[in-house]
A = this chain, B = another copy of it.
Amino acid sequence: MKEPTTHDGQEHFLGTQPRTNFVNVKGTNVTTTIVGTSIRRLDGYEKITGQAKYAGDVQLPGMLHARLVVSPYPHARIVKIDKSAAEQIPGVIVLTAADLPIANPDPSRQGEPLAADEVVFHGHPVAVVLAPTEALAEDALALVDVTYEQLPSVIDPKAALAADAPRARLRALKTAGETEAHASVSGAKEDLEKPASPNVSNQTRQRRGDVEAGFRQADAVVELTFQTQWAHQSPIEPQTAAAWLDPTGTLTIWSSTQGTFFPRQQLAKILGLPPQKIKVVGMVIGGGFGSKLMLIEPLVAAVAMAVKQPVRLAFTRTEEYLAANPAPEAEIRMKAGATCDGTLTALEAEVVFDTGAFPASPLGICCHLMGSSYRCPNVDIRGLEVMTNKVSPAAYRAPGAQQAYYALESTIDELARKLGLDQLEFRLKNAVAEGDPRVDGTPWPRIGLRECLEKAREHPIWRNRHQKSADEGVGIAIGGWPGGLMPAEAGCRMEPDGSFTVVTGSVDLTGTNTSFALIAAEVLGVPVEKVRVVNADTSTAPFGPVSGGSLTTYMVGPAVQSAALQAREQILRIAADELEAAPEDLEIVDGVVRVKGVPDRSITLEKIGDLTMNFGAPYAPVQGQGKRGKAPNAPGFTVHLAKVRVDRATGDVVVKEYAAIQDVGKAINPAEVRGQIMGGVAQGIGWALREALVYGEEGQLLTATLLDYALPVAIDLPAIDTVLVEVPAPEGPFGAKGVGEPPAIPGPGAIANAVRDAIGVRPTQIPMTAERVLETIRGANGKA
């Protein structure tokens, strides 16, 4: 295994430079000349010129627009829905659950896209109004008369845990959600007590050793309880889909989806159609962050089937906040102990996720990550998920990890302080490395956590942490993500002009197409401008995974690499035949295949195009096909450093400096990797300081617009320094691992630790709004 390399400087933009060695898929060292150079995103031009086609741009003849009638109550029985007044308006159609052709009904968001008889959250859709224009549908909404019988509701998760708590839902669900699928982790469920409350929908316990003994060994013990918020992914483009069941029975769905094959399969089950009769077209997507997968597709598809006309639904921003699927809140009690020399002896935690009215919290991942990130012989982590009358939760970039590392990194930090140890060195002493057991006993593969901590130690923010004013503080936090896995395929076709088309079934959410172009260009020996990447729909695409879980580059990338390699081999075989040379004596340079050392003996790629794609051509066309099946996890770790200033008069926290040091395995397109990291940092700052979905006592959402839901904006963000560490993933494409999730993880912990450093007392709730920080300061002063 080679030494990790780092990129501290800026790469030439659009330039090429030779790169140091790295470990490729087969484990041999090769030099890259194209992979590792920073280039602009291939999709940039069409996006900035307004030409990219989003789901909201889909126009179909006779298309109806949909708007939602939603419940004003957190929990109620639907007594009656009177459509008649609305349907008096010419062109207006009102559909309720009974009108939808759901083959396998189940009171989940997927299996019951409109509430059938029981609404379980404020904003729960109960009817859909269709009209030839969105405005007309909106007008007709008010005329749909729904009679509800209110039911007892439960909003506070603590109250929901009581044995005599009202039940958040009366009807049981068949299946749990999909959030946990985003990361491949294993979790044990043992020693679980039967919960007192009927609202408990999931439990886990992950442990090893004897925590009581561990705490007895400890010289210092810290115990804290943390509270996290409901947070919304807030992509710039709301959930949008159009659907049409054509008269030959093919259902086409054009959607703002993060994947195409997975929804196709799910829709097939829900609607009772063969998957071949469903075509999912992944449109250009305006952000997802985990939220855009099978929330509105079942509804739009079922409505289109019911009315046999094309239908489009685009959520309003308020519907996004009210009825999409944000990250759920958690309360985490954590207790940790260590000896004077900085050896962790025990870690205990209790996690409670409020999963709203649908069991879909990332409980397992959260508990797994908390128990697996530091070497500790005695661990006991109990997790519990409880239902309340709130919206359905779903994946939010690194689901479960934000909560896990916020609690863990705050606790570890406090423990280091109590022991009088340097926070970074304490972490480094206990940080896991290759071979250390995770909480479930499985060993970590090669990971870059220690390398990132070592790199953080040298960073100016950390080196200069003591040179600060009285109101300033510096914090550190780690974060890690196991990395998702899902099989993938790709094709690589040579064109008549010697350029190449890479075809995948994935969705380009984060610049992955640009990385695929770099990978193919590297393998083929052609400039990246000669490679075009096309994301095909499910009717013709090679199978593609969901773009989520930091898996796209890691899973699709090797398929592209293999496909390009096959294409290259086919080219060399044809050229060898034409040039009467051995394939291994040939090279591809500047669009020409030539005999190494004899540049005059050559054949152009265009000529090979002629020889493979014309009437009577003597060779088969050049087309490679690559696959990626089983692969080991390639976990990605990162360390964030934050320097903040706290206004002691107002409680306002300003992030002054920020650095993200991340093991990316191999930066295929460093500019894009840095962009991903910066976006993740911005979301982490949002979680730490600003964002929250706030529910009133009656379950009413109080933050249903962008004015109320405080996304971080440019002035909230400092310059972000990104440091790329490359600890190659043995089976990643050119050593790359997923980079999407990790940067969104450590923000709350790093900033909380910085605030603690600044004000001398620990905030234990995010977001750390000015009000809360002021309270924390005043509480501490009161105590003092």
Which A residues are within 8 Å of any B CB, using their own CB?
A: 45-46, 49-51, 59, 61, 181-182, 184, 246-248, 261, 264-265, 268, 274-276, 484-489, 491, 493, 495-497, 499, 501, 503, 532, 534, 536, 539-543, 545-546, 549, 612-621, 623, 625, 627-630
Chain B residues within 8 Å of A182, by CB: 615
Contact between B613 and A543, CB atoms less than 8 A apart: yes
Contact between A616 and B276, CB atoms less than 8 A apart: no
Contact between B248 and A46, CB atoms less than 8 A apart: yes
Contact between A615 and B181, CB atoms less than 8 A apart: yes
Tell me which of B497, B623, B629 contacts A617 (CB under 8 A).
Answer: B629
Contact between B627 and A623, CB atoms less than 8 A apart: yes
List 15 additional contacts besides A59-B61, A261-B613, A274-B499; criterion CB under 8 Å.
A181-B615, A181-B616, A265-B613, A268-B496, A276-B497, A276-B501, A276-B532, A485-B615, A486-B617, A489-B620, A491-B491, A503-B540, A534-B539, A546-B615, A549-B615
Complex CA distance for A536 and B489, rounded to whole angstroms? 17
A-B contact pairs, 19 of them (CB 8 A): A46-B247, A49-B247, A51-B247, A181-B615, A182-B615, A275-B495, A275-B496, A275-B497, A276-B495, A276-B499, A276-B501, A484-B615, A487-B617, A489-B623, A491-B542, A543-B612, A543-B613, A618-B630, A619-B629
Tell me which of B275, B488, B499, B618 contacts A629 (CB under 8 A).
Answer: B618
Complex CA distance for A612 and B485, rounded to whole angstroms? 11
Complex CA distance for A233 and B506, rounded to whole angstroms? 43
Contact between A543 and B627, CB atoms less than 8 A apart: no
Chain B residues within 8 Å of A542, by CB: 491, 493, 621, 623
Complex CA distance for A536 and B488, rounded to whole angstroms? 20
User: Would A614 and B486 be within 8 Å (CB), given that A625-B625, A627-B621 are in contact?
Assistant: yes
Contact between A540 and B536, CB atoms less than 8 A apart: yes
Chain B residues within 8 Å of A503, by CB: 540
* CB-based nearest B residue for A531: B276
Complex CA distance for A629 and B612, rounded to whole angstroms? 7
Chain B residues within 8 Å of A543, by CB: 493, 612-613, 621, 623
Chain B residues within 8 Å of A488, by CB: 620-621
Complex CA distance for A264 and B182, rounded to whole angstroms? 41
Complex CA distance for A623 and B488, rounded to whole angstroms? 10
Complex CA distance for A543 and B275, rounded to whole angstroms? 25
| Interchain nearest-CB distance for A96 vs B (Å) | 29
Contact between B615 and A619, CB atoms less than 8 A apart: no
Complex CA distance for A248 and B534, rounded to whole angstroms? 14
Contact between A184 and B615, CB atoms less than 8 A apart: yes
Q: Which 9 A-B pairs have the closest CB atoms?
A: A620-B629, A543-B621, A620-B627, A625-B625, A181-B615, A536-B540, A46-B248, A618-B630, A184-B616
Chain B residues within 8 Å of A497, by CB: 268, 274-276
Chain B residues within 8 Å of A545, by CB: 615
* CB-based nearest B residue for A535: B540
Complex CA distance for A497 and B268, rounded to whole angstroms? 9
Chain B residues within 8 Å of A489, by CB: 620-621, 623
Most chain B beta-carbon contacts within 10 A, residue among A51, A276, A503, A628: A276
* CB-based nearest B residue for A627: B620
| Interchain nearest-CB distance for A604 vs B (Å) | 15
| Interchain nearest-CB distance for A376 vs B (Å) | 27
Contact between A625 and B627, CB atoms less than 8 A apart: no
Chain B residues within 8 Å of A247, by CB: 46, 49-51
Contact between B51 and A248, CB atoms less than 8 A apart: yes
Chain B residues within 8 Å of A275, by CB: 495-497, 499
| Interchain nearest-CB distance for A221 vs B (Å) | 37
Chain B residues within 8 Å of A627, by CB: 620-621, 623
Chain B residues within 8 Å of A617, by CB: 485-487, 629-630
Complex CA distance for A264 and B488, rounded to whole angstroms? 29
Chain B residues within 8 Å of A276, by CB: 495, 497, 499, 501, 532
User: Would A539 and B616 be within 8 Å (CB), given that A61-B59, A623-B625 are in contact?
Assistant: no
Contact between A487 and B620, CB atoms less than 8 A apart: yes
Chain B residues within 8 Å of A268, by CB: 496-497
Tell me which of B45, B274, B487, B615 contacts A613 (CB under 8 A).
Answer: B487
Complex CA distance for A542 and B45, rounded to whole angstroms? 27
Chain B residues within 8 Å of A486, by CB: 614-617
| Interchain nearest-CB distance for A310 vs B (Å) | 13
* CB-based nearest B residue for A621: B543
Tell me which of B499, B536, B615, B616 contacts A536 (CB under 8 A).
Answer: B536
| Interchain nearest-CB distance for A365 vs B (Å) | 13
Complex CA distance for A543 and B501, rounded to whole angstroms? 11
Chain B residues within 8 Å of A615, by CB: 181-182, 184, 484-486, 545-546, 549
Most chain B beta-carbon contacts within 10 A, residue among A182, A184, A546, A617: A617
Contact between A616 and B532, CB atoms less than 8 A apart: no
Chain B residues within 8 Å of A264, by CB: 496
Chain B residues within 8 Å of A625, by CB: 491, 623, 625
* CB-based nearest B residue for A61: B59
| Interchain nearest-CB distance for A496 vs B (Å) | 5
| Interchain nearest-CB distance for A179 vs B (Å) | 11
* CB-based nearest B residue for A623: B489
Chain B residues within 8 Å of A495, by CB: 274-276
| Interchain nearest-CB distance for A260 vs B (Å) | 12
Complex CA distance for A495 and B484, rounded to whole angstroms? 22
Chain B residues within 8 Å of A246, by CB: 51
| Interchain nearest-CB distance for A237 vs B (Å) | 19
* CB-based nearest B residue for A484: B615
User: Would A45 and B616 be within 8 Å (CB), given that A497-B268, A497-B276, A539-B501 are in contact?
Assistant: no
Chain B residues within 8 Å of A51, by CB: 246-248
* CB-based nearest B residue for A544: B621
| Interchain nearest-CB distance for A578 vs B (Å) | 13
| Interchain nearest-CB distance for A28 vs B (Å) | 22
Chain B residues within 8 Å of A532, by CB: 276
Complex CA distance for A464 and B627, rounded to whole angstroms? 63
Complex CA distance for A404 and B175, rounded to whole angstroms? 71
| Interchain nearest-CB distance for A6 vs B (Å) | 31
Complex CA distance for A246 and B284, rounded to whole angstroms? 15
Contact between A485 and B49, CB atoms less than 8 A apart: no
Chain B residues within 8 Å of A274, by CB: 495, 497, 499
Complex CA distance for A493 and B620, rounded to whole angstroms? 20
Complex CA distance for A248 and B46, rounded to whole angstroms? 6
| Interchain nearest-CB distance for A113 vs B (Å) | 21
* CB-based nearest B residue for A47: B248
Chain B residues within 8 Å of A628, by CB: 620
Most chain B beta-carbon contacts within 10 A, residue among A182, A265, A493, A621: A621
Complex CA distance for A620 and B488, rounded to whole angstroms? 7
